Amino acid sequence: MNPQEAYDELVKRSRELFTVGTINALVGWDQRVNMPPAGIRQRGQMAAYLQEMAHRKQSDPRIGELLSAAEQGQWEAGPAANLREWRRDYDQATKLPPGLVRRRAELTAAANNVWQESRASNNFGAFAPPLAELVSLSREIADHLGYEGERYDALLDLYEPGLTTADVDAFFADLRRHVAPLLERIVASPVKADRGLFRNAEFPEEAQKSLGLAVTRALGFDYAAGRLDVSTHPFTTSFGRGDVRLTTRYDRVWPFQSLMGTIHEAGHGMYDQGLLEDHEGTPLGETVSLGIHESQSRFWENNIGRSRAFWQYWYPRFKEEFQGLVNHVTFDDLFRLVNDVRPTLIRVEADEVTYNLHILVRFELERDLFRDALRPGDLPGAWNEKYQQYLGITPATEREGVLQDVHWSWAYFGYFPTYSLGTVYAAQLEAALRRETPDLDWQMAAGDFSAAFRWMRENIHRHGKQYRPKELIERATGRPPSASDYVAYLTGKYSEIYRL
């Protein structure tokens, strides 16, 4: 078989795998949004069957033969990137026994259901046994995949290719060195947001939904190719660029939880909708990494959604949606509330300055789990100690502590650091966008968010996996990935708000 024939067959097989993956994603989405509790046993069997089928297709020895043949050809950048990613996927798949893949699917389906019940009842003890199984199973997966440094490296690499524990340790040390002094100055500032302005107010869910839909539609999310639902923990699932599902959750006394969460998920969704249709089902039609994915959600949620120009446009609509509830809240009051900096317990509600401390807690706990320096059953105590150490507060309940995130129930160990990577990437992307669009704030204040949307389409979305994350950031911004733009962004913005 010549290289072109081998490549063409790999494209066909890749698109078959994509179809199986989208069916599996639909099964998972339905479990988290619609499924009745009694359906969990059968749902676990469905997920296990689909994941086992996908693994069997992905590890088929015939793919290895096709790759070897196709790799003999001379390829342009696009097909070469597809071959690079297919080789990576094949090498990983062939290292994992089918039985291990099936066990993971069955266990995560069951564990997610237990997590939801445990979170609702504030009972970590019920979740501890399946969590311990998931940690043990993830150790097996890491050992099968292999690693040069330490076991946790193999898990990090699944979400951000090439990322290591040592990288993340250094990354957080650098962030803390720059951000900790800023946080101290903010906490000491006499300028404070007045949360009492919302005292006794209840914000109707329908009004919150109306505002969230209007905002995300204006930012660029296409609801002809997507929808918004409710789940315990907000997430985004894509079944292809024509069907991208967002979820959010509503808090009747704090409308920003839903609004910022919906914007965050729409950022993910716009990335999925911006992939090139011609490449759907191949790596060139896939998002490049979780860090880049999070750069999109964090960019729209924070760099845009918490900006002064954004609220200059949306402040009147905010008052209109909630009518008499917020008439006494001035623009400056609202802007300070949206950018209120204070240590809190819940990651998804955290401000920009303290957010990475929440991720640092999770990273260190995961790192220690896979160094065998921490047992899963000891997580609640370790969690509380780290929150006291880094944020000066301690959860009163397990629901607002160790049970708050869905990730561990899906065995997403290694995922959390990508949130912080994405936050730093987002600031670097924004800086490049502003260099090219000096009147960006004027446009946004007038309700036009198309410049940012088009810039992301051109510089991030359309490339799929043609470039690895670091190269993509450098191509988009003209500079290697760095925290310097993020530090400058935080320092400039919050020095102004808190009059430092």
Catalytic residues: 265
Taking each helix axis from N to C end, the angle separating 355-370 and 151-159, rounded to the nearest 10 degrees, works out to 130
Q: For residue 231, give the 3-state DSSP assignment.
A: coil
Question: What separation in angstroms does the CA of 236 have from each of 18, 240, 281, 293?
Answer: 17, 12, 18, 11
The residues near 149 (Cβ < 8 Å, ≥ 6 apart) are 164, 165, 166
- Residue 102 CA, chain-centre distance (Å), reads 25
Characterize the bridge pairing of strands 226-230 and 244-248: parallel
Characterize the bridge pairing of strands 236-238 and 244-248: antiparallel
Q: Are 193 and 337 in contact (CB under 8 A)?
A: yes
> Quick one: CA dihedral 239, 240, 242, 247, positive or negative?
positive
- Please, what is the Cα angle at 264 between 490 and 308, to 5 degrees? 45
Characterize the bridge pairing of strands 236-238 and 226-230: unpaired
Q: For residue 62, give the 3-state DSSP assignment.
A: helix
End-to-end CA distance of the chain: 68
